[in-house]
Structure formats: structure tokens, C-alpha cells
């Protein structure tokens, strides 16, 4: 396809069906997918992260993907590593004369690529950590908000994540102007998939119960039995936080399901807030309503690419 773009990005709230759109588009373009999800990088974390690997087969053909299952569970993958790994995959796919399809719902990961943030590996700061360890999550949230710069709202789910986020923001505040980072130029078509609020809520709740029936509790038990520290799973937030609290006896099953359902709805709301902020910052998101047929979605994206 002749197109002025060198990347097409599919974003949207959780349970919007991004993967299906991305895989069918990649199949049509004879291309490959780069995942932009902060938790799908971990092996063994499948149902809880919504990898939907079965959707990477379209019309009997496997769609190649990148940045899925690249780290062991328990590892603390970060946005610097993601940006580095993304551009390796981007240049690899591009060098083979294909248009990469970037798919994800982690706003900070997506924006780190599309805005070309100057990122480096941020070292630990034990002095700063020690000064923050007695503060409440609410106090840490206030500190993180005060930076008025890029951070992921999921960093606010636990104290450990909030402290690490503050550590990173503090480093960039001190050294940001001196960072020497050269990134490939991105000319991106940005497409968003969305549902109205009530449909979104229904889809999220239905998918949660479906994944529980498919064995999401057993997935987390298996991770713990393999030696992954429960605190490390709680660090990942959402499904892994609440399922671990249930498995370790901190919550009843009904409490876990109810609290997790609420948390995922809140997460989806934060995702949409992030995307609206991207629009305010100048990103042109071509929104496609989620309830139209898949084939029509692909046709719309192809017509946008051809412009």
C-alpha cells in the first residue's frame, strides 16, 4: 500500500477489541504487530493481561508479534526498556518494507514512542526512597501529580509503584535537558477504538467473568507456586493485585470479583482520560466506534492510510 505513514497505531480502552482490529489489519497489510501493553511483556501472565494470543491467527495465518512474552513474571519492566525495545522492533519491521502495526492501551508507553520522549535507564535512589517510605499513598500521589509531566496512572495503585514513579520523575527533572537520545522519526496514523460508557462497562464485566471461568485464578496460583513473590504480583496491579489478595486470604472470592470489577472500570476511565489529554496535546485520534463490523473498521483504517 502506498501511504505517507511509517506506523499505524491502534489504541482504545480495555475490552475495546483492539487486538482483533490490529491482527486483521496486519493480516491485510501483510505486516507485523508491536504490542504497547505494559503487562503483556511477561511470560505466564496471559489471561490477566488479556493477551488473546488466539486472535493472532487470521484466516489460518499466524500474525507475527513483538514485545509479548519477553520478560519473566516478577521482573520490573519499565518505559525506558519498552521504548528501546519498540524501536528495535520498529526498525526491524520497517527494514523488511512493511508498515508496523502498533497496538496497546498503556497510554504512557504509546506516548513515549509517538512523542519521542528522551528516556534513559533511571538508577535507584535509596536516599529518596527512604525519605518517601513513611508517606501514605495519597501523599505520594500528590507528589507525583506535582511534577505535571508524563506518568502512568497505574503507578498510583501501590506505594512501591508510586515511589518508583517519583524516583523516575525526579531524575528527569534533574537531568532531562542533558539527555542525548536520538530516535527514528515517526509519521504515525493514530486510530482509536471506543464504545459508549454503558457498553464499555458491560463488555468489561462480561470479559472479567469469562476470564475467571477460563482459569485466571489458577494462572495466578501457578505463578506463585513457581516462585514469583506475591508482592511482585500485587505490584502489577488490577487482576494480579486482587487475585493475589484472594489467593493469600486477604479477600473473599466475592470481594475479589467485586473490587476487581470496579478497579477495571476505573482503569478504563483513566485510559480514556489519558487519550483525551493526548488530543488536547495535539494528537489527532481517528476514533472508530467499536460496535461497527470488524471488516468495516479495517476498510476505514485502510482509507485513512491512503490519504
* Same domain as 299, residue 191: yes
* Same domain as 146, residue 291: no
* Same domain as 159, residue 211: no
* Same domain as 287, residue 138: no
Using CA atoms, how far apart are residues 240 and 38, in angstroms rounded to an integer? 13
Where residue 86 falls (left for φ over 0; alpha for ψ -120 to 50; beta otherwise) is alpha
What is the pLDDT, as a whole number, of residue 179?
60
Total of domains in the chain:
2
What is the pLDDT, as a whole number, of residue 183?
84
Does residue 154 surpass a pLDDT of 60?
Answer: no
Does residue 208 surpass a pLDDT of 80?
Answer: yes
Q: What is the pLDDT of residues 235-271, one digit of tens each?
A: 899 999 999 999 999 999 999 999 999 999 999 999 9
Using CA atoms, how far apart are residues 257 and 212, in angstroms rounded to an integer? 9
* Same domain as 32, residue 89: yes
User: Which residue, of 138, 156, 178, is where some domain finishes?
Assistant: 178
Q: Which residue range(s) make up the domain with 219?
A: 7-118+187-306
Q: What is the pLDDT of residues 69-92, one digit of tens each?
A: 999 999 989 888 999 999 999 999
Q: Residue 272's domain is classified under what CATH number?
A: 3.40.50.300
* Same domain as 108, residue 193: yes
Q: What is the pLDDT of residues 175-206, one digit of tens each?
A: 765 565 678 899 999 999 999 999 999 999 99
pLDDT confidence tier of residue 157, bands split at 50, 70 and 90: low
1 inside domain: no
Q: What is the pLDDT of residues 30-65, one digit of tens each?
A: 999 999 999 999 999 999 999 999 999 999 999 999
* Same domain as 161, residue 139: yes
* Same domain as 147, residue 68: no
What is the pLDDT, as a whole number, of residue 52?
93
240 inside domain: yes
2 inside domain: no
* Same domain as 25, residue 135: no
Tell me the whole-structure pTM to 2 decimals. 0.84
User: Which residue, of 158, 178, 198, is where some domain finishes?
Assistant: 178
* Same domain as 193, residue 104: yes
Amino acid at each position: 500500500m502506498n501511504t505517507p505513514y511509517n506506523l499505524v497505531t491502534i489504541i482504545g480502552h480495555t475490552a475495546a477489541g483492539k487486538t482483533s482490529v490490529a491482527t486483521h489489519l496486519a493480516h491485510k497489510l501483510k505486516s507485523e504487530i508491536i504490542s504497547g501493553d505494559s503487562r503483556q511483556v511477561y511470560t505466564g501472565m496471559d489471561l490477566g493481561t488479556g493477551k488473546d494470543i488466539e486472535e493472532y491467527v487470521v484466516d489460518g495465518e499466524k500474525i507475527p508479534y513483538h514485545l509479548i512474552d519477553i520478560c519473566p513474571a516478577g521482573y520490573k519492566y519499565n518505559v525506558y526498556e519498552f521504548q528501546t525495545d519498540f524501536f528495535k522492533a520498529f526498525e526491524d519491521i520497517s527494514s523488511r518494507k512493511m508498515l508496523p502495526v502498533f497496538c496497546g492501551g498503556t497510554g504512557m508507553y504509546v506516548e513515549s514512542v509517538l512523542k519521542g520522549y528522551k528516556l534513559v535507564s533511571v538508577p535507584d535512589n535509596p536516599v529518596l526512597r527512604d525519605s518517601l517510605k513513611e508517606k501514605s499513598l495519597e501523599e505520594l500521589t500528590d507528589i507525583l501529580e506535582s511534577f505535571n509531566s508524563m506518568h502512568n496512572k497505574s503507578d498510583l495503585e501501590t506505594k512501591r509503584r508510586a515511589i518508583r514513579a517519583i524516583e523516575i520523575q525526579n531524575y528527569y527533572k534533574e537531568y532531562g535537558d542533558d539527555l542525548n537520545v536520538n530516535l527514528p522519526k515517526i509519521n504515525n496514523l493514530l486510530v482509536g477504538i471506543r464504545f459508549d460508557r454503558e457498553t464499555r462497562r458491560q463488555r468489561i464485566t462480561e470479559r472479567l467473568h469469562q476470564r475467571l471461568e477460563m482459569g485466571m485464578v489458577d494462572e495466578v496460583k501457578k505463578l506463585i507456586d513457581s516462585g514469583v513473590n506475591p508482592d511482585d504480583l500485587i505490584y502489577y496491579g488490577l487482576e494480579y493485585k486482587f487475585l493475589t489478595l484472594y489467593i493469600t486470604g486477604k479477600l473473599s472470592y466475592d470481594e475479589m470479583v467485586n473490587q476487581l470489577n470496579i478497579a477495571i472500570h476505573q482503569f478504563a476511565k483513566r485510559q480514556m482520560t489519558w487519550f483525551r489529554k493526548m488530543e488536547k496535546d495535539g494528537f489527532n485520534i481517528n476514533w472508530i466506534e467499536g460496535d461497527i463490523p470488524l471488516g468495516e473498521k479495517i476498510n476505514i483504517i485502510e482509507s485513512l492510510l491512503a490519504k
